[in-house]
Amino acid sequence: MASDDIFILGINMTKFGKHPDLDSVDLGAMAVKAALADGGVTMADMGILAAGNLLGNPGFGQQLQKQVGQTGIPVYNVSNACATGATALRTAIMAIKAGECDMGLAVGVEKLSGAGLLGGGGRKKSDDDTWTPDGRVGAVASVDGRIGTMNMPGVFAQVGMEYAHKYGGADAELFARISVKNHGHSTLNPLAAYTKEMSLEQVMGDMMIAYPNTRPMCSANCDGGAAAVVVSGEKLATLSDEQQRRAVKVRASVLTSDPWQEGCQVLPDVNTLTRQAANQAYETAGVGPEDLDLVELHDCFATAELVHYDNLMLCDEGGAVDFFESGKPFRDGERPVNVSGGLQSKGHPISATGIANVWEICHHVRGEAGDRQIEGAKVGLAHVIGLGSACGVHILEGQAA
């Protein structure tokens, strides 16, 4: 029997940062055990495990089982760029919705500290002035350094500058101020990789990575894991009053990829699939952007945060600059964004991020966020995007709502 109502019963994340003495399985086991304890359940209660580990062993989920408990349940090893964690969560949700089980586990883990620049490909360009089409992309053209770049800092720098050119009002200082906001938010998050407040001068004066993004405006490569236990509404009704009180309803779980566009055959379009995911999520959840009490969005770069204000419809089309200037996305604003510190401060262990963003929302709608608690938070949205491209959006509601 399929279940329409899905809840997050337990969820947790490790501290993000450098963990030289722990491997991916260690971090995953820490996150899983903490999420199970948070939900008051055990591995014996799980009917599915969806495990994301983008850069590790393809059998990561089975390796993780050896640490947390092998019970014969199906294991899905998930890989979907920066949306890997959100995809793992959606995999567990879909299994419950299909009636295959009434409780499942999703986990995302990455070891990234010291990984250096991601997405560059690590290949030397030919010294020959004449380019010869080669391989699958030869049908269109080599893009890197010719008509754009597939290097992530470059892609998102272009995205931000394109938005600034199209709508006006955004310059290097405004993008830097977004980063200042998130670094300020991080000081209240003990699980963030960096909890250091930074001034505008410090952000703008740091090493330039891809204009206008300096180093503090870029997501921090680090180690970390996050895990979530999901349960059907029918099963939740049989659990304790405390478990039911702390359960967070999944109002919407959406995953999109790029629709066909001539341009996205060559260069990624981070805007269209996010806007489509947001539209689907709002429709499914029966809420609008105006109903959100907080948002955790994929600020892999400061430029990305600005454009996603627009893509998630937190503002009118073209109104992202005015939205930021209004103070609404600050912790004490009308619609706080990235109160965790965002990827620029909390860190971005790729496969863990999608679940970690959901954890932040759950923390607030449960009323358990401590010093950074958004008062009265009832409904929140978690968003991630991975180039390739994939976008995950989850809308979550606390039981007090």
What integer best gives the mean pLDDT of the chain?
91
pLDDT digits (tens, 9 = 90+) for 234-264: 999 999 999 999 999 999 999 999 988 876 6
CATH H superfamily, domain 6-115+222-249: Thiolase/Chalcone synthase (3.40.47.10)
Q: What is residue 300's predicted lDDT score, i.e. its pLDDT?
A: 96
Q: What is residue 70's predicted lDDT score, i.e. its pLDDT?
A: 95
**Is the predicted pLDDT of residue 119 greater than 80, yes or no?**
no
Contact between residue 377 and residue 364 where contact means Cβ atoms under 8 Å apart: yes
Helix (H) or strand (E) holding 77: strand 75-78
Answer left, alpha or beta for residue 141, where phi above 0 means left and psi between -120 and 50 means alpha.
left
E strands, 233-293, are 248-257
pLDDT digits (tens, 9 = 90+) for 159-186: 999 999 999 999 999 999 999 999 999 9
Per-residue DSSP letter, 360: H
Q: Which of 11-15, 141-145, 207-211, 282-286 has the lowest mean pLDDT?
A: 141-145
What single string gives the DSSP state of each residue in 188-247? T-TTSS------HHHHHHS-EEETTEEGGGBPPP-BEEEEEEEEEHHHHTTS-HHHHHH-
Q: Which of 53-57, 174-178, 190-194, 196-200 has the lowest mean pLDDT?
A: 53-57
pLDDT digits (tens, 9 = 90+) for 133-154: 666 655 555 555 556 666 788 8
pLDDT digits (tens, 9 = 90+) for 65-89: 999 999 999 999 999 999 999 999 9
Answer left, alpha or beta for residue 254, where phi above 0 means left and psi between -120 and 50 means alpha.
beta
Q: What is residue 227's predicted lDDT score, i.e. its pLDDT?
A: 98
* pLDDT average, residue stretch 47-64: 94
pLDDT tier for residue 128 given thresholds of 50, 70 and 90? low
Q: What is residue 140's predicted lDDT score, i.e. its pLDDT?
A: 53
pTM: 0.92
**Is the predicted pLDDT of residue 120 greater than 50, yes or no?**
no
CA-based nearest residue to 231, from 38, 54, 14, 386: 38
Kindly list the domain boundaries of the chain, sorted by start residue.
6-115+222-249, 152-218+252-398
Distances (CA, A) of 292 to 129, 149, 157, 385: 52, 34, 28, 19
Higher pLDDT, 151 or 26: 26
Q: What is residue 399's predicted lDDT score, i.e. its pLDDT?
A: 84
* pLDDT average, residue stretch 354-366: 98
Q: Which residue has the tokens 């019970």?
A: 71
pLDDT tier for residue 58 given thresholds of 50, 70 and 90? confident
Q: What is residue 77's predicted lDDT score, i.e. its pLDDT?
A: 97
Asked if 6-115+222-249 and 152-218+252-398 have one fold, the answer is: yes
Rounded to whole angstroms, how far apart are CA atoms 335 and 301?
A: 20
CATH 3.40.47.10 fits 152-218+252-398, yes or no: yes
| Cα atoms found within 13 Å of the Cα of residue 71, Cβ hemisphere only | 13
**Is the predicted pLDDT of residue 373 greater than 50, yes or no?**
yes
Q: Which of 2-6, 39-43, 351-355 has the lowest mean pLDDT?
A: 2-6
**Is the predicted pLDDT of residue 3 greater than 70, yes or no?**
no
* pLDDT average, residue stretch 303-316: 98
Q: What is residue 388's predicted lDDT score, i.e. its pLDDT?
A: 81
Q: What is residue 132's predicted lDDT score, i.e. its pLDDT?
A: 64
Rounded to whole angstroms, how far apart are CA atoms 268 and 293?
A: 30
Q: What is residue 123's predicted lDDT score, i.e. its pLDDT?
A: 43
**Is the predicted pLDDT of residue 379 greater than 50, yes or no?**
yes
pLDDT digits (tens, 9 = 90+) for 99-114: 999 999 999 999 988 7
